[in-house]
Amino acid sequence: MAAVEKPGVDYLRPRTWQDAVALKTENPAAVPINGGTDLMVDLNFARSRPPTLLDLSHLDELRRWEKSNGTVELGAGVTYTDVLEHLGSDLPALALASRTVGSPQIRNRGTIAGNLATASPAGDAHPPLLATGATVRVESMRGIRDVPIGRFFTGPKRNVLEPDELIRSVLVPSARGPQQFSKVGTRNAMVIAVVSFALAFDVPSRHVGTGIGSAAPTPIEAADAAAYLDRELAREGYWEDHRELSAGVVDGFADRVAAASRPIDDVRGPAGYRVHALRVMARRTLRWAWSALATDGIHAH
């Protein structure tokens, strides 16, 4: 009954990551706050009234990244600005996506982990993480578990995190080939994606990865399209002479990307437009990435 509730919020400020993990087990209803760029909006609109906040924003140990064995491990405190300023060559698609996020202020505060935990179908980090086959590392008092990005999202704004779990880091393979990210918004900056698409070539394995945003209940891969492209490039000998891709191959890929989507009509745009735009973006990003690959030489990576 409303009469007995008090309007305040409890605020927990752990001193270390280990304390944070322990506090989360003790207070499973506590809501983590990092950059606050999603959470504070929800609080202001009274969309959520968490009883307890668990502040992670000051934990320097989370604001780190580490490169080892061809993988970059991004701590849960790593911001878009960090990615843009320091990781552009290792994680080009994620950097391109980071550049489209909000404004400088939002990029300075907002974290990749926060984006993942919010699990919006429109989150801009998601398509690049899908295309590059990233892994989300989560932790609780029960231990650490690694969740492949493709299994992380379970529905619109839902993910696999258990009430006692926190995101500790994200492991992203370093680029071994050209990557692209493209995002349609109705404004030229500071805009939630109407639809987005990421593509990453892994040259040594001759594989392309894909990620689609804002065109299904969760961010998704276009697995069919990727398999088609892998097959066609191999079969037609494109990897041998890296000639320009035929319109047939490009369209075949783009049609399959579009077919993978399951968009809805909403205030940001109609479903039909999203499918159409996805096809166009898939076509364009594939051409850009392939021509970069052809220019740089296949063995450059």
Partner 1 sequence: MRARQQLDTKVRDRTTHVRGVGTSPPRPDAPLKVLGRFAYASDLEIDGMLWGATVRSPHPRARISGIDISQALAIRGVATVLTAEDVPGHRFYGIKVADQPVLATHEVRYVGEPVAIVAADHPETARRAIEAVRVDYEVRAPMTDPEEALSGAGDLIDPGGNVARHVRIRHGDVSSARSRAEVVVRGEYASGVQDPAFLGPEAGLAVPDGSGGVDLYVAAQWIHDDRRQVAAALGLDPSRVRLTLSGVGGAFGGREDLSVHIHACMLALRIGRPVKMTYNREESFVGHVHRHPSRIRVELGARRDGTLVYSKVRLLLDGGAYTSTSRIVIANASYFAAGAYKVDHVEIDGYAVYTNNPPRGAMRGFGAVQACYAIESAMDSLAGELDMDPVELRICNAIQEGDLLPTGQGVDGPTPTRELLEHLRRLPLPSDRLVAGEDLRRLPGGVGNTTHGEAVVRGVGYALGMKAIGFSGGVDDISTARVSVSVAGGRPVAEVYSAASECGQGIVAVQAQIVRTELGIDSVTVRPADTDIGDAGSSAASRQTWMTGGAVEGACHGVRELILERAARRLGRSQGDLVLTPRGIMTPGEGEALLHLADLLCHDTIEHTFVYHHRPTEPIDDVRGQGDAHIAFAYAAHRAVVDVDTELGLVRVVELATAQDVGKAMNPQAVEGQIEGGSAQGLGLALLEEVQVEDGFVKNASFTDYLIPTILDMPPMDVRLFEFPHPDSPYGLNGVGEPPTLSSTPAIVNALRDATGLDLPRVPVRPTDLIASLHGDGSPGG
Residue from 5, 68, 235, 299 touching partner 1 (CB under 8 A): that is 5
Residue 107: CB minimum distance to ligand FAD, A:
8
Structure tokens at 81: 């600005």
Q: Which does 300 bind (CB under 5 to 8 A by kind): partner 1, ligand FAD, none?
A: none
Nearest partner of 222 among 286, 158, 294, judged by Cα: 286
DSSP 48: -
User: How far from chain centre, in Å, is Cα 284?
Assistant: 20
Q: Which is nearer to ligand FAD, 38 or 90 (CB)?
A: 38
Give which of 175, 193, 213 is closest to 100, Cα–Cα. Answer: 193
12 binds partner 1 (CB under 8 A): no
> Cα(94)–Cα(292) distance, rounded to whole angstroms?
17
**270 contacts partner 1 (rule: CB under 8 A):** yes
- Residue 222 gets which letter from DSSP? -
DSSP code per residue over 5-36: --S--EEE--SSHHHHHHHHHH-TTPEEESS-
Q: Please, what is the minimum distance in Å from the beta carbon of residue 199 to partner 1?
A: 12
**Judged by CB under 6 A, does residue 211 bind ligand FAD?**
no
**Binding track over 145-184 against ligand FAD, x by CB under 6 A:** ----------------x----xx-----------------
**Measured distance CA(113)–CA(50) in Å, rounded:** 19
Q: What distance in Å separates the CA atoms of residue 29 and residue 49, rounded to the nearest whole number?
A: 11
3-class state of residue 218 by DSSP? coil
Residue nearest to ligand FAD (CB): 114
| Residue 133 is a binding residue for ligand FAD (CB under 6 A) | no
Query: From the DSSP assignment, how many helices (H) and strands (E) are in the chain?
Result: 11, 13
Q: In this complex, which beta carbon is closest to partner 1, that of residue 280 or of residue 294?
A: 280
Q: Is residue 107 involved in binding partner 1 (CB under 8 A)?
A: no
d(CA 80, CA 271) in angstroms, rounded, equals 29
- Asked whether the beta carbons of 206 and 239 are under 8 A apart, the reply is yes
Query: What is the token pair recorded at 254?
Result: 């783009």
Considering beta carbons, is residue 79 or 135 the nearer one to partner 1?
Answer: 79
Per-residue mark of binding to partner 1, 82-101 (x: CB under 8 A): --------------x--xx-
Residue 268 partner contact from partner 1, ligand FAD, none using kind-dependent CB cut-offs of 5 to 8 Å: partner 1
Interacting residues toward partner 1 by CB under 8 A = 2-3, 5, 7, 41, 44-46, 96, 99-100, 103, 180-192, 194, 267-270, 272-273, 276-277, 280-281, 284, 288
Interacting residues toward ligand FAD by CB under 6 A = 31-39, 41, 56, 76, 100-102, 106, 109-111, 113-115, 117-118, 123-124, 161, 166-167, 192
